[in-house]
């Protein structure tokens, strides 16, 4: 059996060969791909009794409790406007959020925005956040670090707004606007009101 595994924090994909075995386990990031199976393929579960006995040296899994989503689930959004630290501060978020709502979308962010407490963790797109695949992804003030791009590059259309023409985000963007977001977002706000 052969496969491709992401290593070194997602910087390299390695081709791997697995030893012959009765079964294999693969872990996949949520939202990494569509759950549809091609053709007539059907997945299933086979429960095998564990040879381990409960005791002092054994560990027992009780349950997995997923953190509740207190706001909108960004992984289900068709339109996302994501902000990065390039917006300068949280005072600009309400205007950008208004544009997102006018478009029927949601606001998301990169990790530095969460680290500065401008937006909650549930809005973070990236390796340590969520993977998203919206129809439209607008990156505002996001440089395009690998950790962020990996989790949003599957979007159908990517639009980047950044004043640095050398920002890596332009390497994955379908459309790019090289300008200060404060010049672009007010125009988008007016256009999206209609």
Q: Tell which residue, 123, 158, 140, has the closest CA to residue 84.
A: 140
Is 23 a member of any domain? no
Local structure of residue 172 (DSSP, 8 states): T
Average pLDDT over residues 96-110: 95
Question: Edge-to-edge strand order for the sheet containing 79-83?
Answer: 106-109, 79-83, 136-140, 157-162, 175-178
Give the model confidence (pLDDT) of 116-171 as tens digits.
Answer: 999 999 999 999 899 999 999 999 999 999 999 999 999 999 999 999 999 999 99
Domain that holds residue 156: 74-193
**CATH (domain of 98):** 3.40.50.1220
Is 163 a member of any domain? yes
Specify whether the CB–CB gap between 137 and 157 falls below 8 A. Answer: yes
Average pLDDT over residues 13-37: 77
Residue whose pair of structure tokens reads 């379908």 in the numeric block: 174
Is 79 a member of any domain? yes
Is 69 a member of any domain? no
Is 130 a member of any domain? yes
Into how many domains does the chain fold? 1
User: On the CB side of 161, how many CA atoms lie within 13 Å of its CA?
Assistant: 23
């Amino acid at each position: 059996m052969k496969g491709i595994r992401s290593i070194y924090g997602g910087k390299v994909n390695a081709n791997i060969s697995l030893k012959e075995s009765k079964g294999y386990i693969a872990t996949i990031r949520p939202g990494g791909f569509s759950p549809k199976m091609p053709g007539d393929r059907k997945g299933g579960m086979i429960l095998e009794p564990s040879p381990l006995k409960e005791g002092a040296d054994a560990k027992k899994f009780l349950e997995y409790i997923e953190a509740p989503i207190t706001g909108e689930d960004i992984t289900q959004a068709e339109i996302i406007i994501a902000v990065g630290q390039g917006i300068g501060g949280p005072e600009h978020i309400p205007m950008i959020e208004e544009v997102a709502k006018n478009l029927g979308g949601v606001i998301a962010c990169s990790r530095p925005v969460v680290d500065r407490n401008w937006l909650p963790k549930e809005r973070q797109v990236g390796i340590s956040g969520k993977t998203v695949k919206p129809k439209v992804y607008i990156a505002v003030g996001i440089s395009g670090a690998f950790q962020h791009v990996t989790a949003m590059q599957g979007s159908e259309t990517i639009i980047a707004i950044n004043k640095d023409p050398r920002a890596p985000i332009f390497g994955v963007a379908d459309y790019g606007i090289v300008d200060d977001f404060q010049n672009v977002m007010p125009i988008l706000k007016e256009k999206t009101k209609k």
